[in-house]
Amino acid sequence: MRQLLILIVAVSALLSGCSRAPRVVEPVGPSELAMLVDEINTAAPGAESYRGTGDGEIRVSGRTLKVAFAVVYERPGWLRADLRPAIGTMGASLTALALMEGECARLFFPARLLVVSGCISDVAGYNDWLDPASMILGLPDASFILKMTGVTASRGGGTLALEGLVEDSRVRVKIDEDRSIITEIELGRDGTDAHLRLSYEGHGWKPGTSAPRTVELIALEGESREMRITIRYNTLRRGESIDRDAYDLEIPPGVLEIDWKELNVWR
């Protein structure tokens, strides 16, 4: 019995050691990346535009605001959204109209006659090679992977993890290998304390779309500045081209406009 116990302990230790073995990291060439992107885009073809509604939560420096939203999105890089505080949270003074074009956005608070503007490049290693509106909505075009250089890959638990550079940005991408779906994107710059991470969950909830049910965005700058945005779709439908002029922000003259990093809540 003592010998059997020793054998069991030895086998358990061996198996435990094997389970902690490091992942194998391998280089990935351009042709392999092209095949991967083709698989992703084939498995989840995107539409020209989307319209959706849902609920969200915005957390900045320890403060939380729950909102309901309606959004219209058109590729590439255009988004229009209405945000209203959820029942039981802060009042109508925080109702906002948002417009994102390219990497920059404007947020208009009609009740406060205030416009808050800013760009995603303020908080992460972002360049103009990526569509931030599609990232935030969970509808990224996988073609950005083709711009990555020095790419390495590791596998584990059904997830393919890519890491590489696009210009001066370090990019990490996680892909569900069984479904060929992007589940996480992380951006940052070496030598800085700012990075952006987006996580996507609940794919397949809406037949005919590639959108996840839930998106979480985390933007960090050092230890003192952190923003988290979580959105959860209730409805989503594909569409055709959109008349963007019909959704333009109508901002009256004399409205105060400030940079979003000047808000007290972010300090």
- What are the pLDDT digits (tens) for 50-75? 999 999 998 877 788 899 999 999 98
**Is residue 43 pLDDT above 50, yes or no?**
yes
Q: What is the pLDDT of residues 104-128, one digit of tens each?
A: 899 999 988 999 998 866 654 455 6
Angle 56-110-57 (CA atoms, 0-180°, nearest 5)?
Answer: 10
Please tell me the distance from the alpha carbon of residue 267 to that of residue 261, in angstroms, as a whole number: 8
Provide the residue count of the chain. 267
Average pLDDT, integer, range 179-184: 94
DSSP string for 53-101 = EEEEEEEETTEEEEEEEEEEEETTTEEEEEEEEPTTSS-GGG-EEEEEE
**Is residue 92 pLDDT above 80, yes or no?**
no
Confirm whether pTM is higher than 0.85.
Answer: no
Residue 52 half-sphere exposure toward CB, CA atoms < 13 A = 25
**Is residue 13 pLDDT above 50, yes or no?**
no
**List of domains in the chain:** 26-259 (2.50.20.10)
Q: Give pLDDT, residue 5.
A: 33
Task: Read off the pLDDT band of 231 (50, 70, 90).
Answer: very high
Provide, rounded to the nearest whole percent, the portion of the chain with pLDDT above 90.
44
- In the three-class reduction of DSSP (H, G, I as helix; E, B as strand; rest coil), residue 230 is classed as strand
Q: Give pLDDT, residue 169.
A: 84
